[in-house]
Chain A
């Protein structure tokens, strides 16, 4: 279990972290979300001691993180970095050795992960000769090669095509299933909704929402999607009491119901406006959770 406890860090007038606290449980893919500049990278770097905190601490299994424990973490920094002129497999092997993998296993492990991530045929190439996508895969292999207990990946999906996102997603799920901690960050909130079980959403260095994806997308006021044939504006819904219109997309009206509003009353109002084509409850998108949390 990785705990971020009241992290604070200022860079001159800029507040990067403002008392940020949350916990990453093992065995889950944990999404660390927020807009660009929210403080995600600073918090992740703090877990590796790469950032001097003004106050607060990052703890692993309830205690301060030691250098030996840190070696069993895997890290993929936001600004990717491998030696440009070094052969890919040599480089992954070298990083495995630095993480304490014995010499006899390091090269095998390096090849295993390059194969698993689909870049084995480029193993003998120099990093600079690889496409950006393949460099990203090699970087991911570097963070996984020592079978880390905790994986911390900063924006692992940025720059990937849908196939790449699926590949990374399946690796993350597999690591979590094996009981390891998996923390990854993203600024594309809705893109990662299906990938993670739990999230921490931050803004301006503070936690604005957190918990299991199931809970935070279904909690709060209920939401309906209603489409009435021939209606493109959703004007009918604006006169229904106890209901607010959140969005209208191609005639599908997304409604937020006040506490105590009866969905059947909304359905009746829709039917008076015309033939109802679609009627159903809807979960909130993570981006909506974020927007609502920030607006409060």
Chain B
């Protein structure tokens, strides 16, 4: 219950922040009639003015992107939905774990101390905490079974009573627990009946297990893998979303022809840089908010998301979201400059998403199977797929630090090359109207 409350509070806080941002925009507008009086009254005015001067023309373009995007309803709803999904992803495993906390087992009559120890140990072996509740009578115990207070009642060592019989195929925690009890208690009680002292009977009934040796080393802890799964999903959602923002932003300017007004005073590369930086800033703010909420909720709820080596995976996933954005923003911008109308967004976005999908699906398969194929290992060094494959290799413990750095270095080189190529395509295509521009034409124009 308390976790649902946390999710609700988190959602309320986000909505409140969104409303404050929305409330601020019209206030800034009404300041015009009265000169700047309204602005100087605010303690933020000095900071605002300083920020306002920063970055020259590129800064102006970037700030417009940030303002217009944060003001947009689509952005706020999308952020809220992602936050709720993340909160649910963090909270639900904790909640379900909480449900299987302590199992209350009623005991009618007496059990020897070693038998009691066996019952508790059986629960522990199934990752369940078992609490033995002494019951004065079988009737009393049965009524508590019916109300659900007890999972099962041990009627001495004669039999086990449950509220509803388990089907043979039932593999629920309760069913498995009761079957274990039935076998363990029967064996141990039988040995005691045969005159073997209880301590000795317990030792005979539960000998130390044989050592199990694997041909391959055990996988790293499950937490790192779970973090990698979340990281992978988040990287996919964020990169496709931010890429589409860039694509639509460029197409909006071209299709509405405002591009000609802008380029009469700005250079194309200034406009492009401002757009990429502005949308990137909003994207990183949103990603930071999402990760912050996930980590904060995780810490508050005691989720395992933060334990073990998971922080390394979180950092690696975040780094690759940033690198992935720096790579794909140029690709999407160049793609957008080829369009002529807004309705071409889908047909342009699809081919651009193919490498993203390839990286995402192959990495997901690798995580599912618990090991990366050679193919995925190769993809981890190719810049278009590295943002997905490399963090997964890290999560699977299949990448050394220098392999990680080599992949990052390759990505950085690719970002420089792609930004140049994209700026060239953008420059040549952005003012061409009257139909979709094909990449071939742009290249032909370059060669001519």
Contacts and interface: CB of A to CB of B under 8 A. Distances in A.
Interface residues of B, number: 32
Would you list the 10 A-B pairs with minimal beta carbon distance, nearest first? A81-B257, A81-B258, A48-B264, A77-B260, A75-B264, A79-B257, A107-B32, A103-B52, A98-B265, A71-B265
Contacts of B433: 79
A90 B29 contact: yes
A44 B31 CA distance: 37
Contacts of B127: none
A30 interface: no
B265 A70 contact: yes
B29 A95 contact: no
Best-surrounded residue of B31, B36, B265 (most CB of chain A within 10 A): B265
A50 B35 contact: no
Nearest to A139: B261
Nearest to B33: A111
Interface in A34-86: 45, 48, 50, 67, 70-71, 73, 75, 77, 79-86
A83 B266 contact: no
Nearest to B57: A98
Contacts of B431: 50
Contacts of A90: 29
Interface in B46-65: 49, 52-53, 57, 60-61, 64
A81 B267 contact: no
Contact of A108 (B26, B32, B68, B258): B32
Contacts of A85: 68, 72, 252
A133 B26 CA distance: 25
B256 interface: yes
A143 B265 CA distance: 11
Contacts of A279: none
Interface in A83-110: 83-87, 89-90, 94-95, 97-99, 103-104, 107-108, 110
Contact of B263 (A50, A83, A107): A50
A98 B60 contact: yes
A124 B264 CA distance: 25
A34 to B, nearest CB: 20
A70 B52 contact: no
Nearest to A83: B258
Interface in A230-276: none
Q: Interface residue tally of chain A, by bracket?
A: 20 to 34
Contacts of A157: none
Please classify the interface of chain B as helix (H, G, I), strand (E, B), loop, or mixed, using the class held by over half of its residues.
helix
Contacts of B52: 103
Contacts of B205: none
B262 A86 contact: no
Nearest to A75: B264
B35 to A, nearest CB: 7
A50 B265 CA distance: 10
B259 interface: yes
A142 interface: yes
17 contacts: A48-B264, A50-B260, A50-B264, A75-B264, A77-B257, A77-B260, A80-B257, A81-B256, A81-B258, A81-B259, A89-B29, A94-B60, A94-B64, A98-B57, A103-B52, A108-B35, A143-B261
A51 to B, nearest CB: 8
Contact of A111 (B32, B49, B57): B32
Given A94-B60, A98-B57, A83 B256 contact: yes
Contacts of A48: 263-264
Nearest to B30: A124
A98 B266 contact: yes
Interface in A180-239: none
Contacts of B257: 77, 79-81
A35 to B, nearest CB: 20
Interface of A: 45, 48, 50, 67, 70-71, 73, 75, 77, 79-87, 89-90, 94-95, 97-99, 103-104, 107-108, 110-111, 124, 142-143
A287 to B, nearest CB: 29
Contacts of B72: 85
Nearest to B266: A98
Given A94-B64, A99-B265, A142-B261, A83 B29 contact: no
B262 A98 contact: yes
Interface in B236-284: 252-253, 256-267
B227 to A, nearest CB: 38
B42 to A, nearest CB: 14
Nearest to A94: B64
Interface string B15-48: 0000000000010010111011000000000000
Given A89-B32, A124-B29, A83 B264 contact: no
Contacts of A124: 26, 29
Contacts of A81: 256-261
A85 B33 CA distance: 23
B32 A73 contact: no
A103 B49 contact: yes
Best-surrounded residue of A86, A98, A99 (most CB of chain B within 10 A): A98
A73 B264 contact: yes
A107 B33 CA distance: 9
A141 to B, nearest CB: 12
Contacts of A143: 261
Given A50-B431, A81-B258, 9 more contacts: A79-B257, A82-B256, A83-B252, A83-B258, A95-B265, A98-B61, A103-B49, A103-B52, A108-B32
Nearest to B445: A52
Contacts of B261: 75, 77, 81-82, 95, 142-143
A86 B25 CA distance: 12
A272 B262 CA distance: 66
B267 A67 contact: yes
A89 B30 CA distance: 11
A77 B263 CA distance: 11
Contacts of A99: 265
A108 B34 CA distance: 9
Contacts of B33: 111
Contacts of A83: 68, 252-253, 256, 258
Nearest to A47: B264
Contacts of B36: 104
Contact of B258 (A82, A89, A104, A111): A82
Given A108-B35, A124-B29, A84 B256 contact: yes
Contacts of B61: 98
A250 to B, nearest CB: 43
B209 to A, nearest CB: 67
A191 B26 CA distance: 42
Contacts of B267: 67
